[in-house]
Amino acid sequence: MKDRLGKAGLLTDDTRATVVFEEHAKVYRAKNPSRRRILRYRVDGQMVTGGERCDFLMGVPEFNSVYLIELKGANLKKAASQILATLSALEGPISPYRQYARIVLSRVQRPAVVPAIVMKLQKRLAARHGCLRYASQVFEEEL
């Protein structure tokens, strides 16, 4: 996986029990109890330097999966747009992998009306056997 994704923006390549991405009081946390190898990348300004892009990428070689992670204010549409732009910019390197997106917002709008761009992102991820999930302030999941 590292051969395809490269070394630009690589933060860590290890088997830590908890993988954390944090920015502006928004936190994405992935629990890794089986201690699988995880690659953490900084996308914004490192893997992708021009145009819209998400904040981070997490690669899980054992699952043949990549997670695009955006830590955002309250604008779900903007976050979805940034992830879509990143999917396009990294299309070659990430094409063989299942693609997932995770968005951590400062708050989630209620009622949850799903904007068209979010549905477009969900459809694109589903075509790659992935999905979109988002939460407010802290997003935590187990790999």
Q: Tens of pLDDT along 40-64? A: 999 999 999 999 999 999 999 999 9
Cα(119)–Cα(64) distance, integer angstroms = 24
Domain that holds residue 56: 2-142
Range with the lowest mean pLDDT among 24-28, 39-43, 110-114? 110-114
Domain count, the chain: 1
Q: Which pTM was predicted?
A: 0.95
Question: What is residue 108's predicted lDDT score, i.e. its pLDDT?
Answer: 81
Q: Tens of pLDDT along 58-84? A: 999 999 999 999 999 889 999 999 999
Query: How far, in Å, are 42, 51, 69 from residue 20 at the CA level?
Result: 12, 25, 11
Cα(60)–Cα(53) distance, integer angstroms = 20
Average pLDDT, the chain: 95
Sign of CA dihedral 30, 131, 66, 101: negative
Q: Is the pLDDT of residue 10 over 90?
A: yes
Question: What is residue 61's predicted lDDT score, i.e. its pLDDT?
Answer: 98
Question: What is residue 14's predicted lDDT score, i.e. its pLDDT?
Answer: 97
Question: What is residue 111's predicted lDDT score, i.e. its pLDDT?
Answer: 62
How many C-beta neighbours within 10 Å does residue 141 have?
13
How much is the CA Rg of the chain, to the nearest whole Å? 14
103, 134 contact by CB (below 8 A): yes
Task: Please state the three-class secondary structure of 30-94 as a single string.
Answer: EECCCCCCEEEEECECCCECCCCCCCEEEEEHHHCEEEEEEECCCCHHHHHHHHHHHHHHCHHHH
